[in-house]
Amino acid sequence: MTGQTGSVSTNMPPTTPNNPENTVTQTNDRVDEEIELGNMARDLGNAKLDQAQDSPTDEIMAEVVAQYGSARRHYDAAAKLDPSDYRPYFGLGAIYVDGLQRHFAYSHEEAVKNFQLAIERNPTFAESYVGFAYAASQNKQYSEAISAALKAIQLKPNYPESYYVLGYSYYMADRTEEAIQPFRRAISMKPTYDRAYRTLGSVFITLKRPNDRLDLFKQWVAASPQKPYAWLELGSAYYMLSEYEQAIVAFKQAIKLRANWPTAHYQLGLCYHRLGDQNAAMEQYRILQKLDAQSANAFLRLINR
């Protein structure tokens, strides 16, 4: 979800008594300023989580909570200044979606409510339908989610997120086969669309189509050769097909791009174990001991079964 900012005036016009037109201008500027500040806080919170990737510290999580809280206060202030403006409600809904997509617990119901309020105030803004569809699918309102995604496509047919959320809504509704085409459409429009690759990969696991998953992740790596997650997923696809030597190449590339990554070392060690190279497997175990004792213990239990 991207922030939708208005034009922000940093210089407030002087207050002139008994001048309703000037008062309206001031109110509009204050609304824009609150929305801009809300967007900035939300973006900072998202950036913190993105930088942490899959291992945020307690300190980072506290910063994220603070930034999201600041964003909510600014959006709430904007909504009070102008209850007819859709942007504060979109921003409030987007906080929930941003957090949910990064596995940060939030209320699905609150997200649905705020996106619905945004849609009521501006029924032509496609991004609100995208947010609503994502939140509604999380809230098990599958038919509403699919309808909203289709509406977003109608309003903004060249917006890859509209197709992503349609695929996601189908997938969540157990209409798994129907999810494939929208995800592929999103990827064709945005070849570096990481989330679409990952979720479509999950679709292929559900459908027991590991070769399609492998081909998909080859495409992802070709489009995004500098992204360690793409290589990690490619390695996992090779591993699922028992092609351990190719998986090793992929996992090593993931580690090259992101040093000291416990997940990649864990998977690499499993490949060596499957190939019978216990010395190499134990080398990965020793690395894991330094990086993540919990992962190291889990790895040792698994290879000693």
Asked whether the beta carbons of 69 and 75 are under 8 A apart, the reply is no
| Domain assignment present for 218 | no
- 237 and 177, same structural domain? no
Tell me, yes or no, whether 52 and 4 share the same domain. yes
In a domain, 223, yes or no: no
189 and 287 together in one domain: no
Enumerate residue ranges in the chain where pLDDT < 50: 2-18, 20
- Which of 119, 148, 170 is a domain's end point? 119
- What is residue 199's predicted lDDT score, i.e. its pLDDT? 97
In a domain, 14, yes or no: no
* Domain coverage including residue 154: 124-208
Is the same domain home to 110 and 152? Answer: no
Dihedrals phi, psi of 106, to nearest 5 degrees: -145, 170
Please check whether residues 112 and 151 belong to one and the same domain: no
CB-CB contact of 87 with 78 (8 Å): yes
Q: Has residue 214 been placed in a domain?
A: no
Query: Tokens representing 124?
Result: 């032509």
On whether residue 201 sits in a domain, the answer given is yes
Residue owning tokens 């208005």: 6
Does some domain include residue 112? Answer: yes
In terms of DSSP H, where are the helices of the chain? 20-52, 58-81, 87-101, 108-121, 126-138, 142-155, 160-172, 176-189, 194-206, 210-223, 228-240, 244-257, 262-274, 278-291, 293-303
Tally of structural domains, the chain? 3
pLDDT score of 96: 83
Pick the last residue of a domain from 77, 102, 119.
119
**What pLDDT was estimated at residue 13?**
31
114 and 45 in a common domain = yes
Has residue 51 been placed in a domain? yes
Last residue of a domain, one of 208, 239, 254: 208
In a domain, 57, yes or no: yes
High-pLDDT (> 90) share of the chain, %: 77
